Amino acid sequence: MLHLSPTFSLGVAASFALFAVPGSASTDRLPDPPEGLAGAELAELRARGPAALEALLARYDHAAPEDRDALAAAIDTVAGQRYATASRLYWYTDLDRAEQAAHQLHRPILALRLLGDLRDDLSCANSRLFRATLYANTLVSAFLRSHFVLYWSTERAVPTVTIDFGDGRKIVRTTTGNSAHYVLDEDGHVLDVLPGLYAPQVFARELGKSLVLADKVRGMTDARRTRAVAAYHAAASDAADRAWQLAADAPYIRGSRFLLGAGDVASALARAQAATMSKMVMEVPDLQKIGLVQPAEVPNDAAMWSAIGQKVWNIGERGAAPAQPPRQARRAPAPRVPPSMVLDAASRALVAQLHNAGPDGQRATPAELDAVIARLEQHIVADTALNQFTLRQTIHHQIASRPDADLATLNAWIYEAVFATPSADPWLGLRARADFTGLPGDGVVMP
């Protein structure tokens, strides 16, 4: 998600092919087998690849509701991903096997690098959002199944934080974790990188561009491929600079917690002009424009970054302001929660399932859930703009100058220079030693 300050947390439908890669049984960690499937059977299904997953999903789709939980656990194991009943994606965890599949299918590899384990609830924040908002998206899921071989690997264990209330109640969450999607050719050479979270429609669009590059370089010599990759990233950087200019006149309402919906800007302008005419200065809403600035100069403001994303990628219908509002205009009611603009029905269903899954039985009302999703969508669009115009531009420049860097080298650079969590720091920046905490050794406990 959008990382701003310590206090601010932040499609193409197609038929899909099935392919089982030959080879030895998977060495993946297997959870306790559900009733009816032994561990050895799950390992065999996992080794059979996507075809076995499809068979299990077909069984799941026709199963009685009371049998689905056990099947879902088996599906997650075979798929290599938590909540695979929503994503329906098969992930390799062995790069050699992924490359075998890529060669036989003539497809690039989409390689996810994350903190933690994609099969666990407590993987890093980025990967959890990928599962709910990208992989569960119906069109994105079909697009990935049709055009890529999927592979994930872990950068390191994800740090977790436990808040113990002393009466048996605890809150367990993760902290400090960024992920990146690497597009690799069939031999594992890096073609492109998408850092962090993207809105589904932008994610699919950017991956579509990488598919064109993958087709172009297939069969090229190393020298020709590196030249083509360098040229691609130089051109992509220039294109991003041009796209940024679209944001120059994007309006935004500072402090807004949601994406701008149809009429929001017009309503704000009407209130501002009416308030000005009546000298009620305190009623003027904080409606502003981005202005001609560089991405690095944009403040850490989710409302501003999400307005940039809406403008550049035409997300939602914000409406046009009237030239002259009626003189009798009065202050509008509190901002409504806009309709969903980013997540499809499948993603919203998974978000709702996870949000309401607490053991204390608390359930959000439909209105509360709408607000949660609308807030999430604003963060997604803000993250998309921030990642595309800042982090990814840095990566474009690096690959354009070093197109021959292998996956390990580029990944190490990204985690150090882009994500600011170098592998050399065992504390991931969480033990800076710059402030006094009042705890012996800042509360560090060693194994």
Neighbouring CB atoms inside 10 A of 351's CB total 19
The reply to whether 108 falls in a domain is no
Name the amino acid, one letter, at 365: T
Q: Is residue 344 part of a domain?
A: yes
Is residue 294 situated within a structural domain?
yes
Longest dimension (CA), the chain: 78
Q: Which residue has the higher pLDDT, 134 or 334?
A: 134
For residue 289, being part of any structural domain is answered with yes
Q: Is the pLDDT of residue 282 over 50?
A: no
Percent of the chain with pLDDT over 90: 65
| 11-20, 59-68, 88-97, 141-150: least confidently modelled range | 11-20
Stated pTM of the model: 0.85
Residue 308 in any domain: the answer is yes
Q: What is the domain range of residue 292?
A: 247-383
- DSSP class of residue 8 equals B
In which element (H, E) is residue 183 found? Answer: strand 180-184
Interacting residues of 82 by C-beta distance below 8 A, sequence separation 6+: 76, 118, 119, 120, 121, 123, 131
141: nearest Cα among 340, 314, 351, 346: 346
Of these ranges, 5-19, 336-350, 379-393, 418-432, the one predicted with the greatest mean pLDDT is 379-393
Whether 188 and 135 have beta carbons less than 8 Å apart is answered as no
pLDDT, position 290:
78
Number of domains in the chain: 1
- Tokens for 173? 């969450």
Contact present, 254 and 286 (Cβ < 8 Å): yes
28 pLDDT higher than 60: no
Q: Does position 165 have pLDDT exceeding 60, yes or no?
A: yes
Would residue 323 count as lying in a domain?
A: yes
Closest CA to 227 of 413, 110, 235: 235
Residue 111 phi/psi, 5-degree rounding, is -105, 115
Q: Which residues contact 65 (CB under 8 A, 6 or more apart)?
A: none
CB distance 356 to 363 below 8 Å: yes
Which residues 6+ apart lie within 8 Å of 227 measured at CB? 403
Q: Point out the least confidently predicted range of 30-39, 145-154, 399-408.
A: 30-39
Is 54 among the domain residues? Answer: no
So what's the pLDDT on residue 248?
82
pLDDT at 268 > cutoff 70: no
The mean predicted confidence, pLDDT, of the chain is 84
Tell me the average pLDDT across 209-221.
Answer: 97
Three-state DSSP at 91 gives strand
Q: Are 195 and 392 contacting, i.e. CB atoms less than 8 angstroms apart?
A: yes
